[in-house]
Structure 1
Amino acid sequence: MDLAIGVAVGSSIQIALFVTPLVVLLGWILGREMTLFFNIFETISLFVTAFVINFLILDGRSNYLEGALLIASYVIIAVAAFFYPDSAAQSELGGSIGSEVYRRFVNG
């Protein structure tokens, strides 16, 4: 079990620390706009999954229920990501509401 956890966590860390910045640099070379700026949904998803995985592997044992919980959390994140609006729609929604509040505040 320790070897399996070590391989899984080690490969995730390698991807996070090496491949992601490498892909951003390759994107810049190829003329694609890529940054390491993540929106709030991606950041919260990352922290929640790290917390859940840490909680599940803390005891060093695994069973079918923990595996089902991990699969369920991945499905929940996938469904939420599918229905989460893109950044242009977020700006439009936030901008229209914010500008209305600002107009009411300024005009009294």
Structure 2
Amino acid sequence: MKKTMAAAALGGFALTLAACGGTDNAAEDAGAETVEAPAEEALSDVTEEPVADPDLAEPVEAETPAPVSEETANEAADNAAADAAEIEAMLGDVEATAEAARSELEGE
């Protein structure tokens, strides 16, 4: 079985190497002229001036939010406290379940 797996892996490696080949002269494909030319073009001086986009909308000022009443703020705070208490209860349940699972695994 090990010899079959080794032969299959060797065949796969040979095919991989064969797929990578196929050029007559790799030095011509990746020469300095072809690699550096796009970088030189990108770093050349820009002579054009920026142009305004006619489709661009005028900037809109952000609206000032309406003031919040004390009653609304207190209601939001109470809701947040209730949500936090519910999350803490869920966390306690998760911790108890995890502890029971650990105890069961240690007992095996």
Give TM-score scaled by structure 2 length.
Answer: 0.28
> Which of the pair is proportionally richer in helix?
1
- Higher RCO, 1 vs 2 (CA within 8 Å, ≥6 residues apart): 1
Give TM-score scaled by structure 1 length.
Answer: 0.28
- Rg larger in structure: 2
